[in-house]
Amino acid sequence: MFALHNQDSVTSARAGTLQTAHGPVQTPFFMPVATKASAKSISPQELIRLGTEAIILNAYLLHAMPGSGIIRELGGIHQFMNFEKAIFADSGGFQMIREKLFIGISDKGVRFHNPFTLQREHITPEKVMQINMDLGSDVAMALDHMPPAKGSDDMILAATLRTHQWAIRCRKEHDRLKSEGASLNNKQLLFGIAQGGTSKQLREKSAAFINSLDFDGHAIGGLATGESKEEMYDAAIAQLAILDPAKPRYLMGVGSPADLVKCVAYGIDCFDSVFPTQHARRGTLFTLNGPIDLTKGKFQKDTRPIDESCPCETCKSYTRAYLHHVLKAEKYTAFHYLSCHNIYFIQDLMSEIRKSIADGYFNELKKEFLGKYQSAKQPIKLP
């Protein structure tokens, strides 16, 4: 299921393969976010052409619309969206506590208004596993309770303990449903999520607990939500020291180029984030010399591509001047071109990272990449 092939000799970076029912995913890898089975401004087939081997969507939101039963009838999530590569399904813990429709949370589950029908719903760990059976996702994520980044210690402790109890229930229900042959994908994997806020002690305890439940992989959740970078790295490092190194380790919600390089060095295998596409829509484009803000007037007559070394379709075809114009004149068209570049940039970076780990020069690549990306004169705040 997961095999490690190379371990960097200087850092904790590692390269391997995660086997799924829809093919292998080379690790470390980055997943674009397709929350409702659709990435913003990019089609599933384009994501593949941009170098994507796995995406993440949201089980709960697809249950809310169009309905997991309908997706099952239509042959499952891969057929529904024509994406025959690995699909992770997040549980919805993140959305449930952040959306305006949230009503309440208890040890039993989460209560909220369905955002499409406005009917009251009660989502439990068991229900999330049932939805995943209908979707036929490759990796189901356990339901977790993500505490707010600036929550009190008591709030974070309660959310972490609840996450543990829900992890046990997800594990049990997933085993039961799979043994009954209920899943459209009988090779579906289940990942547990560790929480713990920014407390090192609680992070360690949570990692040890989640590690004990024999999940197929482990996620570090609840980070990249407003804490400082140092707090994020420290929390991730604390859990990496405890999580089983023989299983894939997924840092949820992280996706800036610099963070990807740094966190691969800590030993992370898997990432997801809306960061590249969200920033593209704001006009922030990644280049090897750091991000640029294409909305600035100085690009009005700039005839260079976004990044001169990038072979993506956007960079091969259009100048900064033209993209600057389209962003003002036809923003939805620009979102497509710009999102494609940022996703390509990230997938190409991950591919270079994998190669460098295999060939023993990851640390050099890390230094060179961060040196250029972070030291260039930044016209905007570094992502």
Binding residues with Zn ion: total (CB under 5 A): 5
Q: Give the interface segment with Zn ion, choosing from 57-65, 104-112, 118-126, 339-347 (CB under 5 A).
A: 339-347
Is residue 315 a contact residue for Zn ion (CB under 5 A)? yes
Amino acid at 349: L
Task: Give min distance, CB of 349 to Zn ion, in A.
Answer: 12
Mask: binding to Zn ion, 89-108, rule CB under 5 A, as x and -?
--------------------
Cβ-contact 19, 28 below 8 angstroms: no
User: Is 110 or 285 the residue whose CB approaches Zn ion more closely?
Assistant: 285
Task: Give min distance, CB of 286 to Zn ion, in A.
Answer: 9
Is residue 366 a contact residue for Zn ion (CB under 5 A)? no
Task: Give min distance, CB of 256 to Zn ion, in A.
Answer: 17
Task: Give min distance, CB of 337 to Zn ion, in A.
Answer: 9
Concatenate the DSSP letters of all residues of 189-246 into one string.
Answer: EEEEEE--TT-HHHHHHHHHHHHTT--SEEEE-S-SSSS-HHHHHHHHHHHHTTS-TT
Cβ-contact 110, 96 below 8 angstroms: yes
User: Is 140 or 340 the residue whose CB approaches Zn ion more closely?
Assistant: 340
Among 139, 310, 338, 343, binds Zn ion (CB under 5 A): 310
Out of 144, 259, 272, 307, pick the active-site residue.
272
d(CA 23, CA 17): 10
Is residue 312 a contact residue for Zn ion (CB under 5 A)? yes
Task: Give min distance, CB of 340 to Zn ion, in A.
Answer: 8
Out of 8, 90, 216, 259, pick the active-site residue.
90
Task: Give min distance, CB of 295 to Zn ion, in A.
Answer: 18
User: Is 136 or 305 the residue whose CB approaches Zn ion more closely?
Assistant: 305
Q: Give the interface segment with Zn ion, choosing from 218-226, 279-287, 312-320, 372-380 (CB under 5 A).
A: 312-320
Rounded to the nearest angstrom, the gap between the alpha carbon of residue 180 and the centroid of all alpha carbons in its chain is 30
Is residue 141 a contact residue for Zn ion (CB under 5 A)? no
CA dihedral in degrees (321, 325, 326, 330; nearest 10)? 180
For the chain, how long is the longest CA-to-CA vector? 63
Beta bridge partners of 291: none
The 8-class DSSP code of residue 322 comes to H
Structure tokens at 78: 């891969």
Start-end of H helices in the chain: 44-49, 59-64, 68-73, 77-81, 93-98, 125-135, 153-179, 200-211, 229-240, 257-266, 275-281, 313-317, 320-329, 331-359, 362-375
Judge whether 90 counts as a catalytic residue. Answer: yes
User: Is 107 or 308 the residue whose CB approaches Zn ion more closely?
Assistant: 308
b/e 175-195 (16+ beta carbons within 10 angstroms → b): eebbeeebbbbeebbbbbbbb
What would you report as the CA-atom Rg of the chain, rounded to the nearest whole angstrom?
20
Among 171, 262, 341, 354, binds Zn ion (CB under 5 A): 341
Is residue 279 a contact residue for Zn ion (CB under 5 A)? no
The residue ranges that bind Zn ion (CB under 5 A) are 310, 312, 314-315, 341
| Catalytic residue set | 90, 272
